[in-house]
Each structure stands twice: as C-alpha cells, then as structure tokens.
Amino acid sequence: MEVINRYITIKNHIDGAPQDSDFELRSSYLSLSLDPASGEVIVKNLYVSIDPYQLNRMKSYSSSHQSSEFAVAITPGEDIDAYGVGKVVASGNPKFDKGDIVAGLLKWGEFTVVKPGGMLNKLDPMGFPLSYHVGILGFSGLTAYAGFFEICKPKKGEKVFVSAALGSVGNLVGQFAKVLGCYVVGCAGSKEKVALLKEKLGFDDAFNYREEPDLESTLRRYFPEGIDIYFDNVGGDMQEAAVSNMNINGRIAVCGVISEYTDREKRAAPSMIDVIYKRIKIQGFLAGDYLNLFGDFLSTTCDHLRSGKIQPLEDISDGVESIPSALINLFRGQNIGKKIVRIAEE
C-alpha cells in the first residue's frame, strides 16, 4: 500500500524572524510495506512538538549546530525532525508491532520512517492524553524539571523569577516552584497572560514586560528582597536586569535566550561585577543531558497532575499545514502553554 506523505520543509535558511514565505508544504509517495529485516519502523504521526530551538537549526550559521545531535543544522528542502507521538503502521523491527503507540524523534509531517537506531520508544500513556506526552510529560516537562531542580537547587521559601512564564517550560517551572513553597513571579507579553499566571496557575505575582520601560527597577519592585533563582528563557535585557537584582549565592538557569534567536546582534551583557561579588552561579543546560532523571520527573509530574497540584497548559493547532504558523507564532508570543500540532486523530 502506498500513501501520500505531506511534510514541511524550509525553502531557505532563516536568519531573522521566521515568515510564512520561508516554509513549504511538500508531498511524496510512501510505501507502507517494509522488508521484515530492515529494522525500520513507519509511524503515522499524531502529535508533534513545536519548539523555539528549531529556528536556530534553520539559520545559515549558529554555533549551536555543533553542540548536540538534536541541534544540527536543517538543510532547505529536507524534512525536519521533531519530538512527537505517533502510531506504528508498519514495522521491520522486532521491538515494535503495528498499532503500537510510540514517542520519539519523528518528522514535521504525516508519516515518519524511523531508521534502525532512531530515537523511538513504546509509550504507555498512563491514562493521560497523548498530547501530554509531547509537552508536560515529554521534553518540555523534563526541561523545566531538570533545569529547576538540578541547576537551580531550590529551597522552600526562596524567591523565584521566571521569564516567558506562560510558555511551555516557564509555566511548569513556576508551578513546580509553587508546589515546593517558593515565592514565584513570572513575566509574559500580555495582560491576558499575566492574569492567567496569577489566577489560573497560582503565581504570587506577574507582570507584562512589554509595558515596563526599565526592567531593572521593575524587578526591584517585584523583589524588594532580591531574587534567589532566575529561570531564564529569554536572555537579552531581562537577563541583565535579573542579574542586577540577584541575591548573594543566587542561581540562574539559562534555559533559552529566545529574545536573541531572531536578532544576530542582540546579546545580554550582565554585570560581571555583580556575578563575582554576589557569587551568582549562571549555568546553561540542555534537557537531553538529563535523561537519567526522566523516571523521577515522570512519576513526580504524573502525581502532581493526578492530585491537581499542577495543571497542564496546552496550545494545539490542527494539521501538518499549520506547523509553520505554529512556529512563527512562538516568536510573536501568540502561544499559551505548550505549542503542539495535532497531525491526525488518535
């Protein structure tokens, strides 16, 4: 049997903010019959993850291209890999059977041919919707968990600041911090997001950074006793302002610097005098380095979800053709929570 597989590619490298015209929906025929000894698996993609780091892969040059196998450059015209959940429709690999639900590195398309050795695991949904396994119970969740607990080493009562706080990673960091008993303030780019942070997610306070002309004094207002932990998703001016407001022995987890992804010239230049005299630890990290924590992360997060201590926040669009706008909108602040594209019904 043969199907038409529609998938997204980039037409050219993207060195600024992504636009619709940078992307193309292509299609090709795909045979669903596999040689039983091929080791390959064909997956019908159900949900795929939309993440800011994909833009760095689309640039003509980024030092990130050499840093990790997940960050390698994307060549225009090629299909694009991304984390996702799907269903096996053909298997030449004894570990998988037709009908298995799987999670792993799929494609921004309708089907994925997973080569032997490709990242693919059987998925037990544990009673949760499959989309959760792309976001809150997937890599975004692991990023928040590993970054907050391993890098920031939080203690009850500490004062935590989170940027891009209503995004996929940020909202979870704030919720984990609240469960631990920290004082948590988040920032986001609209009034509606600020209201959601306070009213729906239980942040102690939140502000719209777009309305604040002087971020250093804004943070002083929200943290009169200083910041113990800054979970940085944005870099740029916000990182500089946070460093100025850190307490002695403060910790900063640099998870991402999204405000710098679309602008080559933009760089945070935090005061190194502050870093030294306040003994601030600033550490970047990649979630992929913390797969050893996946079991702990999953059981903790599932417990919190079941007990209602944390809430899932998903933003789902439909259809492979919606992938470009889903990515573009991350850089315009138009997502609320984890951005996912549902490619097909379960």
Ligand X SMILES: NC(=O)c1ccc[n+]([C@@H]2O[C@H](COP(=O)([O-])OP(=O)(O)OC[C@H]3O[C@@H](n4cnc5c(N)ncnc54)[C@H](OP(=O)(O)O)[C@@H]3O)[C@@H](O)[C@H]2O)c1
> Which residues bind to ligand X, rule: CB under 6 A?
51-53, 140, 143, 164, 167-170, 188-190, 193, 233-234, 255-259, 285-287, 330-331, 333, 335, 339
Q: Does residue 231 contact residue 256 with C-beta atoms inside 8 Å?
A: no
Q: Which is nearer to ligand X, 223 or 231 (CB)?
A: 231
Tokens 């502000």 -> residue: 207
Mark 224-262 as b/e (b = at least 16 C-beta within 10 Å). eeebbbbbbbbbbbbbbbbbbbbbeebbbbbbbbbbbbe
What's the closest the beta carbon of residue 6 comes to ligand X, in angstroms? 24
Instruction: Give the Cα separation of 48 and 198 in Å (integer).
Output: 29
What's the closest the beta carbon of residue 191 comes to ligand X, in angstroms? 11
What's the closest the beta carbon of residue 276 comes to ligand X, in angstroms? 25
Q: Which is nearer to ligand X, 43 or 254 (CB)?
A: 254
Q: Which is nearer to ligand X, 38 or 317 (CB)?
A: 317
- The DSSP code sequence of 60-105 is S--GGGGT-GGGPPPPTTS--EEEEEEEEEEESSTT--TT-EEEEE
Instruction: Give the Cα separation of 204 and 185 in Å (integer).
Output: 6
What's the closest the beta carbon of residue 228 comes to ligand X, in angstroms? 20
Q: Which is nearer to ligand X, 90 or 219 (CB)?
A: 219
What's the closest the beta carbon of residue 296 comes to ligand X, in angstroms? 17
Q: Which is nearer to ligand X, 247 or 325 (CB)?
A: 325
What's the closest the beta carbon of residue 136 comes to ligand X, in angstroms? 11
What's the closest the beta carbon of residue 106 comes to ligand X, in angstroms? 17
Q: Around Cβ 305, how many Cβ atoms within 10 Å?
A: 19
Distances (CA, A) of 197 to 74, 166, 187, 259: 35, 7, 9, 20
Q: Which is nearer to ligand X, 146 or 320 (CB)?
A: 146
Q: Which is nearer to ligand X, 229 or 330 (CB)?
A: 330
Q: Which residues contact 9 (CB under 8 A, 6 or more apart)?
A: 23, 24, 26, 76, 77, 78, 79, 80
Residue 170 identity (one-letter amino acid): G
What's the closest the beta carbon of residue 188 comes to ligand X, in angstroms? 4
What is the enclosing helix (H) or strand (E) of 277? helix 272-277
What's the closest the beta carbon of residue 34 comes to ligand X, in angstroms? 33
- DSSP summary character for residue 37: T
Q: Which is nearer to ligand X, 45 or 168 (CB)?
A: 168
Please work out, in degrees rounded to the nearest 5, the angle formed at the alpha carbon of residue 165 by the alpha carbons of 263 and 197. Answer: 140
Q: Which is nearer to ligand X, 42 or 330 (CB)?
A: 330
Q: Which residues contact 57 (CB under 8 A, 6 or more apart)?
A: 64, 65, 71, 72, 73, 74, 80
With left for phi above 0 and alpha for psi between -120 and 50, is residue 202 left, alpha or beta?
left
Q: Does residue 142 contact residue 297 with C-beta atoms inside 8 Å?
A: yes
